[in-house]
Structure 1
Amino acid sequence: MLKMFRKRRINIATVIVAVISMLAVGAYGIKQTIDVVAAVNFEKSLEAFPESYRDSLRALHKEHPNWTFEAVNTGLNWNTVLANECYLTRKLVPASGHSMSLGLMDNSRWYQTPTAWKAYDEIDGAFNYDNNEWVGFDTGQWNQASPAAVSYVMDPRNWLTEEYMFMFEQLSYNASHDTVTVINNTLKGTFMYNAKCPGASGNKTYAQVIVDAAKAAKVSAVHLAVRLIQEKGTSNDELGKGVITTDGKHFTQATGKEKTIYYNFFNIGAAGSGKQTVINNGGKEAMSEGWTSPYLAIMGGAVKVNNGYIAIGQDTIYFEMFSVVNKAYYYWKQYAQNLTASLTEGCKIYTTYKNSGITDSAFVFRIPVYNNMPEQACPNPGWYTNGDDTSLRANPNTRLKSLTVNGGELALTPTFNHEKTSYNVMVSYSTESVTIAAQAIAGTSTVSGTGKKSLKVGTNTYKIVCKSEYGTTRTYTLNITREKSPEKSTYLTALKPTSGSLSGTFNKATGKYKMTVNNSISSIGFTYTMESSESLVELRYGKHTISCSDGKIAAQSLTVGVNTFYIDVYDSADKSGEKTTYQVDVTRNAATTFDNKKLQINGSYINGFTIGEKVSNAIKAVSVTNGSVKILDSDKKAKSDSSMVATRDYFTVYDADGKVMKQYQIVLYGDVNGDGKVDLFDYMYLKKHHWVKPILTGIKLEAANIYSKSSGVDLFDMAVMKKFLWRNGTITQTR
């Protein structure tokens, strides 16, 4: 009886354990299903974004699964937008003596604006070359931003990181984020922190007023707070402290004792050339709106921010700075000219949320997409990597102040102007040399190509290069024509082959020259200049004698090896006088040959490499005569000998002159992601392509076709890879 009872107890316990296990497995299975569906839905949402956006968004989604990313397809061409955003004064950067910041990527350090961020040659009116300075705009403390800087800041792909994402945050009011505590912490370090707001009832603080304004205008309170800091700074400015006027046109700083004082906390309408113009325009706006206290200026300004920007589609910091979402306001309707305002404001909002512990909330980010964007994100045009490097602020002036020949005795045509770069001078035959002089406008620039120059008969071209302190150059071309000699001569003053170059500098008294050309050069001719216009030139080549004219010797066929040309110069057309002969031996190299040996070539692909094979070993696997082989990475940059061969690398064969003769893209079967290894990451590509959604195309799809007896990606390929990864299997690299 006891045995039976014990046996029954064991059976009951077993059943309980089994039931619990089944429930646990079922719950786990449900969670797995939910996770898979969520992952598929997220990947589906990424289809609205170009491929170059997706890896960054995936990384953000992994850290913040509650965030939502919306692609805003502007329908605008990238280059069209860039050209319009580079309109003079539309995007500005701080002038010399003033600092800028890129936000948190550089620990919010402030530096003087690098030269690469300022426009000079690219935008007319940005740089005054005569005065050797950038033109000052707005208050005079701003310069025109360079196209490279505008494209860097405008490219959303540069800012898809946690610290910068909030420039894309939808700027609607959110009661869970826009609390008085959060806003007051945002204002810390400014004159508004813990301070009462003049004009507000009930002794409300600036933080309370900002939250009230945000509610009324349906705008993010954090956005308003950060915008106020951006506009007013930490200690306030003239329009924030209040201005007065006697005529409604000109405004001056108030003392605080006047009867009517006007305030403009968001600097709405405060634009123009020169500081006083900015104050006048901002004062007129405040006067027309009746903003006679900081309270009214904040409340009224918030409504204007909403009505003027957010309500018309410019509902992110990015769209406020780059007006690309509403056709009626394209380009010109921007909140600020400061190019980097979106970066610093976005970082400030992120810092506010981070300090408040709410970065994992359900934020919505509206991210712009343009047509025909560059394949890769636009690079930073130049920034500080080793502290305050003053060379990054070098002068870019490449203009000449003067250009003369023989001290100005010989006139230039046209008259010298530093914006014109080509000039002509005519001299008599008796003038055998001239002296060229030039001076740069900037004392920091250098000039080369000047000095005493010997002249040959005919046109003599000289390049005078003005190099700026920054390293940019401007080339001025000077064509000096020496008239022909009335006397007879059997000399040439110049002789040049149509391909390659002579072994030595041509001298009219030297009769023999040699040169070597690549096998691809199948014929060659010459150009020449006669010392006397009365001379006659003939070519002897093989069994043929050929008359020449107009300074040209017709191209002749070349054989592999040495080809000898004889150029005869007679002092007259009847060949009755003296003669000088110039001999040129032209050696044509043999052709470049390539034997791929064990490697297989399939159309534009090449395979047969070993997984983990070094570049140096892969190159030894082929044979090349009169040429060379290099393996380049997917960006077509040479790989080191010790690096591994990978899918998407380029196997490149060069001829003797270093020109590309053949180029194939490497397929390393199993290496789907192109890192030269076959591992779990590659297996996940196969698994996702087969079970979730076909994502592989082109060479990646070819690399995933591991099982040679089937096409595409299927269970056989996955089986081969699993065996390779976990059972020491092999992946056949030939087909």
Structure 2
Amino acid sequence: MKSGYKCSAKRIAAIGVMLCMLVLTCLTVTSVLNTKAEEAIGQGHVDYDVTGLRIRKGPTTNSSIITTVSGGFKFDIYEETTDDDGDTWYGIGFYLNGSYERGYIYGGYITVDKRNDYKPDADFEEYLDSQGFPDSYKDGLRQLHVQYPNWVFVADHNGKDWSDVVENQNVIGRSLIYGSAVSSWKSVADGCYDWESGKYTGLDGSWVQASSALVEYALDPRNFLNDTNIFMFENLAFDGSLQDESGLESMVSGTFMEDSNHDLSYEGTDYTYITGLLFAGQKSGVSPYHLASRILQEQGYDGHGSSISGTQSGYYGYYNYYNIGASPSAGSTAVQNGLRYASRTDESSLRPWNSRMKSIIGGAIFLGQSYINKGQNTLYYEKFDMTGRGHQYMTNVLAPRSESVKSAQGYSDSNKNNIAFIFRIPVYENMPENVCEIPTGDGSPNNRLSDLYVDGYSLTPTFSLYTTEYSLIVDYDTSSVYVGGSTLDSSADVSGLGYHDLSVGSNDITITVTAANGDDQDYTITVVRQDKEPDPTPEPDPEPDVAYPGFSTTLSVDEDEKYISGLTVSGYVQDVLDKIDNYNGAYSKILNKNGNEKDGLVGTGDILITYNSSGEEVSRYEIVIYGDVNGDGEIDLFDFAQIKRSILGIADPSGVYWKAADCNRDGELDLFDFAKVKRYILGIGSINQ
């Protein structure tokens, strides 16, 4: 297939390999790009899995060392050259101890992020626009176009909303990462991490749930628009004009499949892994390069995987090269379940897989039928299923990235330069403007307190490391309080402890715990300092003209507990005042809980005060609107959440707010109140005021 556009720009050597294993160490230099890089021909970074890569004074291993750098280190590129062995080196600029330095770095462990010598290609720019690629995709595609002008990039507008896709992949068990990864790669969501023990929940052996930040990085196609990882978007169908034995030789070189004494006979023909994989691709319609990549991913480069030993206890003589059906369940290991699957009979996929070639061919047929021939025809889509079936081949969130490396290595430079590869690149609705970068923080993620207290007072609710909001009330004479506490993990830092001055009214005190990996968690204590009590004065003689308010019959007044109910939900101050009759020059006001006069919506906790003609207070009632638990005058999801937290024992409202939460007035906060608020919000029920 022809690309539909041409470019005469000079070909640039492809640089770098993005591998799935990331080891982050402290850099010995500052990784900051030159702010005056107009003379540079591009920018690049050290591959993420690399440590101790040397920057030298010249483009040879004999040149003296300037410094060493590790994965993620960024630099400007000024020159591309080769040494006597034909290996690529780059002349670079970088910051070292605040000074911009120049040196050379070996090209085998770096990725070129951007080439500054790109000359606008009107036809290609028009093509990108016609495909509907967002601007944030175009820089990477331009770089690839300069290197490989025959490659075709298709924008796959799959209609999926970005936030929905991220949420779907954050379901526990759906996106995993190896347990030894840096902490910012691992999730601390509920069910994924035990704060008290500091241990992650194992979901498949040594694998744990991936963090949301890592999921977003792995999902964002813009991170992989380089000459290696682009192959996660390659169509995986069989194509005999592209896929041949020479390509397979390159893929299996140095692996257990290169020179094996395994019996690979099938229907009277003896195969090698190379000829066998090519035959399996023809039979299944699946790329043999993809099949080879799958086997290496599942069984290891040395073939140590138990699924292909043929000697597994209880399943002697059975093989499962692609680990199909291999996930732990019902007390069985992943290998046991995979070999149990291999031992069952299914003629369509050549099962039972009681020979190596039957497993290789039959498993390939299964992949074609289950994934590749049903729309999941790229490495990316096999992991991140967009077909609506909720069907994914791999749980390793970085599997497309690591497998794309193997796929890219399966093609010769000649193939890459001369074949019009077609890459289907996902484009989502409402994507973030900026690329979702890979998280890099390491160290303990534990940012919880083991204790929190206010000296001399009791917090409401009682302290729990899972509860982050507390409150207490102090009298006017208390002008300051002392907040104490300690972290659950000794490596965490905490700020906000100590003495805090208090103003009359509500005071929010924030205690911030910063984990070793940089993640913050705030705890908030709301301290209400009461106003000064007026000086006691002799009771005045009763005045015949003292005017107490007369209430409308629609209102309900509790004279014992001094509260009023029966108000309209979402009613305004004037609506309430219109229901009150005052006599002899008396008047009424509605104040909020802090004592300030209101003029908006009336809510639970507001105060109705009546004054006589001399301006003296003669009555005071708190307002209750049943269902309005947070006092904003409306009944909505915030109130729903407050009642839910009370039922779960996380936090209890008090006073009139408790009364407001007790929607059915049975003296208890329970699921009946929860249901009444839910039905009210949904418009299918009412709450009697």
TM-score range, shorter chain: 0.5 to 0.7
In the other structure, the counterpart of 1:47 is: 130
Task: Report the CA distance shift for 1:434/1:73 in structure 2 as closer, same or farther (over 3 A).
Answer: closer
1:397 to 435, 439, 446: 446
Indicate how the Cα distance of structure 1 residues 279 and 553 shifts in structure 2: closer, same or farther if over 3 A, else same.
Answer: same
Shift of 1:356: 6.6
Q: Is the aligned partner of 1:278 residue 2:334?
A: yes
Please give the secondary structure, in 2, of the residue aligned with 1:402.
strand
User: Structure 1 residues 60, 275: CA separation in 2 closer, same or farther (over 3 Å shift)?
Assistant: farther
CA distance 1:188–1:451, shift in 2 (3 Å): same
Structure 1, 303-312 or 68-77: larger mean CA deviation: 68-77
Amino acid at match of 1:316: T
| C-alpha distance in structure 1 between counterparts of 2:435 and 2:171, whole Å | 22
Look up the match of 1:64.
Answer: 148
Paired residue type of 1:176: S
Q: Which position in structure 2 is the counterpart of 1:495?
A: none
**Does 1:345 pair with 2:403?**
yes
What secondary structure sits across from 1:178 in the alignment? coil
TM-aligned CA distance change 1:355 to 1:456, over 3 Å: closer
Structure-2 change in CA distance of 1:429 and 1:169 (3 Å)? closer
Matching residue of 1:233: 300
3-state DSSP of counterpart to 1:165: helix
Aligned to 1:177: 242
1:209 has 2:276 as partner: yes
Q: CA RMSD in A?
A: 3.4
Counterpart residue number, 2:157: 73
Describe the SS at the equivalent of 2:450.
strand
2:408 is aligned with 1:361: no
Name the SS for the 1:393 alignment partner.
Answer: coil
Local SS of the residue matching 1:158: helix
Distance 2:507 2:340 in 1: 63
Counterparts in 2 of 1:73 and 1:434: CA distance versus 1, 3 Å: closer
What is the CA–CA distance in structure 1 between the aligned matches of 2:124 and 2:506, rounded to whole Å?
71
Match status 1:149 vs 2:214: yes
Aligned: 1:418 with 2:465: yes
Q: Counterpart in 2 of 1:523?
A: none
Contact 1:240 1:294 in 2 (8 A): no
- Contact kept, 8 Å, 1:457 with 1:481, in 2: the verdict is yes
Alignment partner of 1:334: what SS?
coil
Q: 1:429 to 1:87 in 2, by over 3 A?
A: same
2:262 and 2:288 map into 1 onto residues whose CA distance is: 16
CA apart distance, 1:143: 2.2
The question of whether the paired residues in 1 share the 8 Å contact of 2:264 and 2:272 is answered with no
Of 122, 127, 145, which residue of structure 1 is paired with 2:193? Answer: 127
Map Cα deviations across residues 125-150 of structure 1 (whole Å, 9 max, x no partner): 232212223222211x2222222222
Aligned-pair distance for 1:293?
Answer: 2.4
1:432-451 → structure 2 map (5 Å cutoff): 434-451=481-498
Provide Cα deviations, 1:184-211, integer angstroms capped at 9, x if missing partner. Answer: 3311222221214325244422222111
**2:182 aligned partner:** 114
Q: Number of residue pairs matched?
A: 419
- Note closer, same or farther for the CA distance 1:39–1:449 as it changes in structure 2 (3 Å cut): closer
Letter of the structure 1 residue corresponding to residue 281 of structure 2: A
- For residues 164 and 222 of structure 2, the distance between their equivalents in structure 1, rounded to whole angstroms, comes to 18
338, 342, 362: which is aligned to 1:300? 362
Partner in structure 2 of residue 287 of structure 1: 343
Distance 1:479 1:189, change over 3 A: same
> Are the aligned partners of 2:187 and 2:210 in contact in 1 as well (CA < 8 Å)?
yes
Q: Report how far residue 84 of structure 1 moved.
A: 1.0
Alpha-carbon separation, structure 1, partners of 2:305 and 2:224 = 33
Contact 2:505 2:530 in 1 (8 A): yes
Q: CA deviation at 1:453?
A: 5.2
**Pairs within 5 Å for 1:561-572:** none
Shift of 1:173: 1.4
- 2:321 paired with 1:265: yes
Identity across matched positions, percent: 34
Preserved CA contact (<8 Å) 1:223 1:349:
yes
Question: Does the 8 A contact of 1:82 with 1:150 survive in 2?
Answer: yes
SS in 1 for 2:385: coil
Give the counterpart letter for 1:207 in structure 2.
Answer: I
Q: Secondary structure at the match of 2:333?
A: helix
Tell me the TM-score normalized by structure 2.
Answer: 0.55
Which amino acid counterpart does residue 196 of structure 2 have in structure 1?
D
How far is 1:307 from its partner?
A: 0.7
Kindly tell me: are residues 371 and 213 of structure 1, through their superposed partners in 2, closer, same or farther at Cα, counting changes over 3 Å? Answer: same
1:127 counterpart letter in structure 2: Y
Residue 215 of structure 1 and its aligned partner are, at CA, apart by 0.9
Q: Distance in 2 between matches of 1:357 and 1:455?
A: 73
CA contact (8 A) 1:132 1:441 kept: no
Asked if the contact 2:194/2:200 (under 8 Å) is kept, the reply is: yes
Change over 3 Å in CA distance of 1:484–1:316 after alignment to 2: closer
Distance change >3 Å, CA 456–CA 488, structure 1 → 2: farther
* Distance change (3 Å), C-alpha of 1:77 and 1:413: same
Distance 1:434 1:189, change over 3 A: same
Q: Distance in 1 between matches of 2:497 and 2:376?
A: 55
Preserved CA contact (<8 Å) 2:250 2:409: no
Deviation of 1:261 (Å): 2.6
| Per-residue deviation, 1:236 | 2.5
Q: Which residue of 2 aligns with 1:323?
A: 385
Inter-partner Cα distance in structure 2 for 1:449 and 1:259: 61
Bigger radius of gyration among the two: 1
Partner Cα separation in structure 1 for residue 470 and residue 239 of structure 2: 66
CA 1:195 to 1:404, structure 2 compared with 1: closer, same or farther past 3 Å? same
Give the match's secondary structure for 1:286. helix
Quote how far apart the aligned CAs of 1:421 are.
1.4
Deviations 1:25-45 (A, max 9, x none): xxxxxx999xxxx97488346
The one-letter amino acid of 2:336's match is N
Question: Partner of 2:282: helix, strand, or coil?
Answer: helix
CA shift, 1:354, in A, is: 3.0
Please tell me whether the aligned partners of residues 234 and 422 of structure 2 are also in contact (alpha carbons under 8 angstroms): yes
Give per-residue Cα distances to partners, 1:252-305, cap 9 Å, x unaligned: x34xxx884321110111124799532232122212231122222111111111
CA displacement, residues 381-417 of structure 1 (integer Å, 9 cap, x when unaligned): 33xxxxxxxxx312121111122233xx633211222
Deviates more, 1:479-488 or 1:396-405: 479-488
2:47 maps to: none
* AA at the equivalent of 2:357: Y
Counterparts of 1:339 and 1:470 in 2: how far apart (Å)? 21
Judging changes above 3 Å, is the alpha-carbon distance between structure 1 residues 279 and 430 closer, same or farther for their aligned structure 2 residues? same
Contact 2:506 2:594 in 1 (8 A): no
Inter-partner Cα distance in structure 2 for 1:259 and 1:154: 37
Query: What is the CA-CA distance between 1:312 and the residue it aligns to?
Result: 0.3
Within 5 Å, give how 1:471-510 maps onto structure 2.
471-481=518-528, 488=535
2:190 counterpart letter in structure 1: D
Contact 1:138–1:275 (8 Å) recurs in 2: no
CA distances 1:526-569 after superposition (whole Å, capped 9, x unpaired): xxxxxxxxxxxxxxxxxxxxxxx976699xxxxxxxxxxxxxxx
Q: Which runs of 5+ in 1 are unaligned?
A: 1-30, 97-112, 245-252, 383-391, 490-548, 555-572, 575-735
Shift of 1:431: 6.1
Answer whether contact 1:239 1:264 (CA < 8 A) is retained.
no
Name the SS of the counterpart of 1:212 in structure 2: helix
User: In structure 1, what residue type is equivalent to 2:176?
Assistant: L
